Each structure stands twice: as structure tokens, then as C-alpha cells.
Amino acid sequence: MAESKILLLDTGPLRELVLYSAVENLGFASLKKEMQFLQTKNRYENLAGFISNFRQRKTTPHVVSEMSSWILRTFESGRANIWRLVFEEFTRMHMDEQTIELVRMPCESVIKLGATDTGLLEAASELGAWSTTVLSIDHALIAECRGAGLHALHLRDVVEADAV
């Protein structure tokens, strides 16, 4: 158990949590095909268990913006319920947002990775390399984090673990 550690969530894992809840709790069966990593209850429980090990769960406003864009792009109908699920997930897991303004980001990094990934990198550095874990499905971001001495995990490695 990582008592004082912080989990920094990228868009992919959050999207999977919302999709799982939409399919399993609200019966949006057609969304099952959108899920990439949480197709089984066991995988979902592995992720939930992993998140529960962290006392603080954080994301960034850029990630929220990506979630918004995904919802607008993906859901012609039922959009209201998806947003309600997002609010529910954020509220119930006590999600906090770490703001990194664009002008505080290294311009070259934004050019290379975009504002969302750079924001996550900067947020992880600011929160402390030793106490923060970045969770993502983006291999490029994970590689960048590791290159910068930050702890980053791919969602697949978390949900496929035998025991968390």
C-alpha cells in the first residue's frame, strides 16, 4: 500500500472506467466495443484495486478537455448520462486536478507531445517524481515519463496483473 502516493490519470484509463460503468451499471451494451482494456470484471477490479492503493488521485484540466472532446465526438445520444458518469467517477474517487498553465510548459515539449501529455509530465514532476505514478495507455507518454525519471505505467500492465 502506497500511503502517501499520488496517482496521476491520463485520458485512457478514465475513459475506460466511464465506459465500464456505462456498460455494466447503465446497460449501454453497444459501448462494449469501445472498451479496449476493461472487458472483464476481473480487469476492472484490478484497476479499481490499483487506484485504491493511492491516497490521492489527480488528473489535469487538459485531460478533462480530452474527455470532453471524446464525449462530443462519440456520443450523439446518451451524452448526458456519460457526463453524469464522469462527474460520478470524479466525485466518488475524490479526483483532484493539477493545473499547469500552457505558458509554464516547455514550448518544445508541447510541439513534440502536445499540451495534454506535456501537462501530465510537468504535473508529475511538480508533484514529485518519487511520490507520483502516471497511468496511461499512451506508450509515447510513458516512454517520455520514464526518460524523465518519472514512474509511469501502462493500463494493460495494471489490469492484466494476477493480483494487485
Q: Which of 65, 74, 81, 125 binds another protein (CB under 8 A)?
A: 81
Residue closer to another protein (CB basis): 135 or 152: 135
Interaction between residue 45 and another protein (CB under 8 A): yes
Which region, judged by CB under 8 A, interacts with another protein, from 40-48, 111-119, 132-140, 142-150?
A: 40-48
The sheet carrying 132-136 orders its strands as: 95-97, 54-59, 2-9, 132-136, 151-154
Smallest gap from Cβ 103 to another protein, in A, equals 33
Q: Which of 36, 72, 84, 161 binds another protein (CB under 8 A)?
A: 84
Ramachandran bin of 135, using left for φ above 0, alpha for ψ from -120 to 50, beta for the remaining angles? beta
Q: Which residues between 92 and 131 bind another protein (CB under 8 A)?
A: 92-94
Residue closer to another protein (CB basis): 95 or 100: 95
CB-based contact 152:142 (threshold 8 Å): yes
Place of cell 472498451: 35
Interaction between residue 26 and another protein (CB under 8 A): yes
Question: Which has the closest alpha carbon to 69: 109, 14, 119?
Answer: 14
Q: Which residues pair with 133 in a beta bridge?
A: 7, 151
Q: How far apart are CA 92 and CA 104, in angstroms?
A: 30
Binding footprint of another protein on the chain (CB under 8 A): 1, 3, 17, 25-28, 44-45, 47-49, 51-53, 55, 57, 76-81, 84, 88, 92-94
